[in-house]
Amino acid sequence: MAHIECSGIVKSYGAHPVIDGLNLMIPDHEFVVFLGPSGCGKSTMLRMIAGLEEVTAGRISIGGADVTNRHPGQRGVAMVFQSYALYPHMTVADNITFGLRRAGVPGPEIDRRLGEVARMLGLEPMLNRKPKAMSGGQQQRVAMARAMIKTPKVFLFDEPLSNLDAKLREKLRTEIRKMHNSLKTTTIFVTHDQLEAMTIADRIVLMRAGAIEQQGTPDEIFDRPATRFVADFIGSPSMNFRLGRIERGAAVAGSVRIPLPPGRFAVAEGQEVELGLRPTRMERVSPGAEGAITGRVSLIENMGAEGQIIAEVDGADMSFVTRDFRGLSIGDPVSFALSPDHLHIFDRATGRSCLA
Amino acid sequence: MVPLILRILARLALGLLVLIALAPILWTALGAFKELRDIVTPVPKLFFTPTLDNFATILGNPTIRDGLVNSVLVVAASVGIGALLGIPAAHTLARHMRRRGDDIQFFVLSLRFMPPVAIAIPFIVIYLDLGIYDSLGGLILVYLVTTISTMIWLATPAFERVPPEIEEAAAMEGCSEAEVFWRISLPVAAPSLFGALVFTFVLVWNELLLALTLAAQNATLPVVAASITSLGKEVPWGVINAATVVLVLPPLFFIGLLMGLINSMIRSGGRTKG
């Protein structure tokens, strides 16, 4: 177990830098998720920590030891790949124990540890099978067992659940988190799925175009997004945005007028801003209520316990989520309001949050 | 009921086609065990007293025996060295030369564009100067051009089909690049490499022109077989048939051997002792 320290990391292909001077500190035992859209450099970052990709400039240390130029096998890390990357010509047991056998660990010791991880991941009945004869979920379990049996200092997961169907993804996600709760090994998990990141992470590192856009706990990222990009990326359904301005202690955008809680925002009168309203932080209210937004229902998406209402407000769609959606039908007028502590305001020029 | 009949008909048609395809080979094999008068009868004979005389003639004839030995030596060496150099080269091309790989692949293929006739005569002169004319070493050397280039050409796609993540996973376990190649890439690509090996083997085993021009005393089997067929009107049909069988058997044997080897390689999965 170890903390990870990346300082001044640069990665370029030719003259074009994809990551430019990135600094990151991951404390011991933490479960960190690298989150971002495809091409943001999150996988490249992970692969550099793994040693599969060379670092153009900068330093990576794991557990205090500089590993920047070490072979992947000498860094004390284990990795789980999106495509499972099992050795197709070996049985499950051989796949899991390959590294230990290679390192010359004595046979009885290998058998003991194999039994342990196989029990933990429910792989006992299939130890003699070939990977080809297994489902994707089972294959990924084998890959996890192969990583675990080495008792590494750091686990690296590169989009491990992306090739699985939704139900299995959820199940394995829980298992990975439980595994971390019991082993407490420092873990980096790469994903482009914000829900996956929110549910599994101690801390999210949200990346964009080779730089860290924001890092923090899932709550911080969700409730205090530092930029418009983060606010847009996190949350499902995604945040509603409206161009507006600050007028007499309220944020105004067309017919939408939301009073500003005192001290929450650092904004000036007349400032050009962009308002962010989370659909899940809004609720139906009576038409005359303070801060009420009124529109016409244009679509209702039934999600079971809740429904997403898409309403036309000032000629543009605005969505919100409510439990009280069953009485509504398309074309009805509807009033809803944002709970005042959940308004987001972004500077129009920089895209940065105006939270004080 | 109707599908069953259709299936039986399809099987019969298939069987007939296979029989037509194999008939000449079977007839040759049969002819190898016949005496000359059983072969030249106007009415073909299916039942006859088999004889091993033809094979005795073949194997007792020093020219043919030497030809067989020479062929085995030359082909084994050129295919062996070709695989030894070509397969790692193909792996490197597939993994590290993505951008230039196509150009190199084309260059390698272009080595096969030139008709052998075009290089045969210059080669005679060069070989005479170097003093390796009519030597097995010289023949192996010229065959290496064929075997190495064919091996690279066919093995590169085989390695490209091995997912890079598998090799990376092995690297994460501490394997050096050589170890990754030997314990992961090679066994995974083995079934495709097998095809490449067989194809290369057949190419040089059947090669006639270069063997004919570059070797006189140390002739290979195709050269010897060709000389038997030019004996004139007194054709020893039985002997020719037997020679053909002898010529065909080693590749079959070789393929069988290789198949077993590769199967065991895949099954053991690079397992180490201990």
Block residue for tokens 């090799």: B167
Do A291 and A306 fall within a single domain? yes
Looking at A200, A233, A266, which one is the last position of a domain? A233
- B266 to A91: CB separation less than 8 angstroms, yes or no: no
What CA–CA distance (Å, rounded) separates A188 from A3?
11
Range B13-47 burial, b when 16+ CB lie within 10 A, else e: eeeeeeeeeeeeeeebebbbbbebebbeeeeeeee
Please give the C-alpha separations between residue A78 and each of A145, A146, A176, A242, B20, in angstroms, as whole numbers. 10, 8, 14, 45, 58
Helices vs strands, H then E, count in chain A: 8, 20
Q: Which of A74, A85, A102 sits opposite B163 (nearest CB)?
A: A85
Contacts of A89 in chain B (CB under 8 A): 187-188, 190, 266, 269-270
Identify the residue with better confidence: B215 or A281: A281
A116: domain CATH number is 3.40.50.300
Q: What is the distance in angstroms between the Cα of A170 and the nearest Cα belonging to chain B?
A: 24
Indicate the average pLDDT of chain B: 84
Q: Which of B163, B174, B184 sits opposite A103 (nearest CB)?
A: B174
- Residues B253, B181 contacting (CB under 8 angstroms): no
Contacts of A140 in chain B (CB under 8 A): none
ipTM rounded to 2 decimals: 0.85
Predicted local confidence at residue A289, as pLDDT: 85
Enclosing domain of residue A252:
240-347
pTM of the model: 0.82
Residue B272 binned pLDDT confidence (cut-offs 50, 70, 90): very low
Q: How does pLDDT run across B244-271, given as a tens digit for each residue?
A: 888 788 778 877 877 777 776 665 544 4
What's the one-letter identity of residue B236?
Answer: P
| Chain-centroid distance, C-alpha B213 | 20
Do A274 and A136 fall within a single domain? no
Most confident of B1-10, B93-102, B172-181: B172-181
A254: domain CATH number is 2.40.50.100
Contacts of A90 in chain B (CB under 8 A): 269-271
What's the one-letter identity of residue A342?
Answer: H
Give every CB contact of residue B76 below 8 A, 6+ residues apart in sequence: none
What's the one-letter identity of residue B38?
Answer: D
The CA-based diameter of chain A, rounded to the nearest angstrom, is: 77
- B172 to A79: CB separation less than 8 angstroms, yes or no: yes
Element (H, E) at B60: helix B53-60
Say whether residue B161 is in contact with chain A using an 8 A CB cutoff. no
Identify the residue with better confidence: A118 or B45: A118
In a domain, A355, yes or no: no
What CA–CA distance (Å, rounded) separates B163 from A225?
38
Do A51 and A146 fall within a single domain? yes
Question: Dihedrals φ, ψ of A257, to 5°?
Answer: -140, 110
Q: Which residues is A135 bridged to in the sheet?
A: none
Predicted local confidence at residue A191, as pLDDT: 95
Q: Which domains does chain B have, with CATH numbers?
A: 61-268 (1.10.3720.10)
A203-208 sheet: strands from edge to edge: A77-80, A154-158, A186-191, A31-35, A203-208, A211-216
Query: Which of A 249-308 lie inside 8 A of B, CB atoms?
Result: none
Per-residue pLDDT of chain A (356 residues; tens, 9 = 90+): 589 999 999 999 888 889 999 999 999 999 999 999 998 999 999 999 999 999 999 999 999 999 999 999 999 999 999 999 999 999 999 999 999 999 999 999 999 999 999 998 999 999 999 999 899 999 999 999 999 999 999 999 999 999 999 999 999 999 999 999 999 999 999 999 999 999 999 999 999 999 999 999 999 999 999 999 999 999 989 999 999 999 988 999 999 999 888 888 999 999 999 999 999 999 999 988 888 999 999 999 999 999 999 999 999 999 999 999 988 999 999 999 998 789 999 999 999 999 98
Q: Which of B163, B172, B270 sits opposite A73 (nearest CB)?
A: B172
- Total domain count for chain A? 2
Predicted local confidence at residue A185, as pLDDT: 94
Closest residue, chain A, to B174 (C-alpha): A73
- B266 to A81: CB separation less than 8 angstroms, yes or no: no
Region B77-83 average pLDDT: 95
Say whether residue A78 is in contact with chain B using an 8 A CB cutoff. yes
Residue B232 binned pLDDT confidence (cut-offs 50, 70, 90): low
In a domain, A353, yes or no: no
What CA–CA distance (Å, rounded) separates A240 from A337?
13
What's the one-letter identity of residue A158?
Answer: D
Looking at A204, A233, A262, which one is the last position of a domain? A233
Say whether residue B269 is in contact with chain A using an 8 A CB cutoff. yes
Contacts of A85 in chain B (CB under 8 A): 163, 165-166, 168-169
In a domain, A352, yes or no: no
Say whether residue A77 is in contact with chain B using an 8 A CB cutoff. yes
Q: How does pLDDT run across B6-17, given as a tens digit for each residue?
A: 999 999 999 999
